[in-house]
Amino acid sequence: MMSLYLSALDTEDSRSLFEQWYIQYRQTMYAVAYGILHNREDSEDAVHQAFMNLAEHFEKARSIPETEIKAYIIIITRNTAINFYRKNKAEAEHVTVLEDDSKTVDVDFFAHIEYDALVKAISELPEKYKDILFLRYLQEFSPKEVSDMLGISAVSVRKRTERAKKLLQAALKGSEVIVS
């Protein structure tokens, strides 16, 4: 598989850096994809597609500061896995309906939610909120780091975080994913 990715790159320096990213991030990428897809084969396909996207846009990725590349790669993987999820959902013959349970969610609900349920709920939010929550709480970047990565102010990061939490709290209300 690696030779397929490397064949898309022009220089030995580019191939070396890509190989380094592959070795360093493939397990994290798989974990992110599996957290969304809950299926080994689909997760592997999503990671493969994410690497293909990374190879195709390597020059753009290469220009990202080293301290931010992990978040960039994870966002690519997450978006690819979400696309796989949506495609699979559209192709499914039936839809699983979640039961509505009127439990309330604590203000600090991130500490009480199962990881997989949280990733699924975040994946259903609008993109600008998904990125904020994913980077802030799942990848544990500071507001300043997130503002630098996304090219917005730290105030905007905090405001979007607040709005995203409210949307997420509303989405999680009534579900049985609270662990307490």
End-to-end CA distance of the chain: 42
Q: Is 3 helix (H, G, I), strand (E, B) or coil?
A: helix
Q: State residue 122's pLDDT score.
A: 73
Query: Rounded CA gap, 145 and 67, in Å?
Result: 9
Residue 74: pLDDT above 60? Answer: yes
- Mean of the pLDDT values across residues 142-163? 82
**How does DSSP classify residue 100?**
P
pLDDT tens for 91-120 read 664 443 333 333 333 445 555 566 667 667
Domains delineated in the chain: 2-91 (1.10.1740), 109-172 (1.10.10.10)
- Gap between the Cα atoms of 102 and 129, Å rounded: 24
What pLDDT, in 10s, does the model give residues 44-71? 999 999 998 898 888 888 888 888 999 9
19, two tokens: 């190989």
Q: Is the pLDDT of residue 131 over 70?
A: yes
How much is the pTM? 0.52
Question: What pLDDT score does 134 carry?
Answer: 72
Nearest-angstrom CA–CA distance, 31 and 26: 9
